[in-house]
Chains A and B, each alone.
Chain A
Amino acid sequence: IAGITQAPTSQILAAGRRMTLRCTQDMRHNAMYWYRQDLGLGLRLIHYSNTAGTTGKGEVPDGYSVSRANTDDFPLTLASAVPSQTSVYFCASRKTSGSYTQYFGPGTRLTVL
């Protein structure tokens, strides 16, 4: 089934631990994005990648890093998790020609204690 998968679905993490959220898409979209969603704040962009091998910072990049080794995968790493990173994380992707719509994955609910 074409689309975006994210793993894990949910995670409870102790503060200070390292965590990688995984995102994979099989639509051969060039651009990929990571957002966090917090109650009352909508979605905010963390990092993005326009194509494999390139990444850029979004609105709230501090405490997060990404890599884009290939077209399909765009992992998000929290090097040392803090409670303020408790959120729902959504990965999204978009074709860079002929369509502007971003398609979203199912999300990862992360709780940092």
Chain B
Amino acid sequence: ELKVEQNPLFLSMQEGKNYTIYCNYSTTSDRLYWYRQDPGKSLESLFVLLSNGAVKQEGRLMASLDTKARLSTLHITAAVHDLSATYFCAVDGGNAGNMLTFGGGTRLMVKP
């Protein structure tokens, strides 16, 4: 059974600081997704990582994938208040339905 763990679960940080969210998963996969969810809203796709060593960047967010370590990271550079949200990683277990298993989410609060 595929398990996906994120840490930290909650992160409070000051504007301008850097931080990393970690996503560990338990079985082999080379497809990993990062989503953002604002309170009371739906999930918005941020990144799709499809191979070992994949790195993608969008603004202040950068995601990477190490399939050998079964680890993905979401790095936040010089955080701003608008990045406050819950971030989820999700792993495609390679099954017939391309079903995603989600981590529990990291709630990020960026304080002025």
Contacts and interface: CB of A to CB of B under 8 A. Distances in A.
- The range of chain A's interface size is 20 to 34
- The range of chain B's interface size is 20 to 34
Contacts of A33: 97, 99-100
By secondary structure, the B interface counts as strand
A48 B31 contact: no
Contacts of B102: 35, 42-44
A96 B42 CA distance: 22
Interface of B: 4, 31, 33, 35, 41-45, 48, 50, 88, 90, 92, 96-105
24 contacts: A31-B98, A33-B100, A35-B102, A42-B88, A42-B102, A42-B104, A43-B102, A45-B99, A45-B101, A48-B97, A48-B99, A56-B97, A58-B97, A59-B99, A90-B42, A90-B43, A94-B98, A100-B92, A101-B33, A102-B45, A102-B100, A106-B42, A107-B41, A107-B42
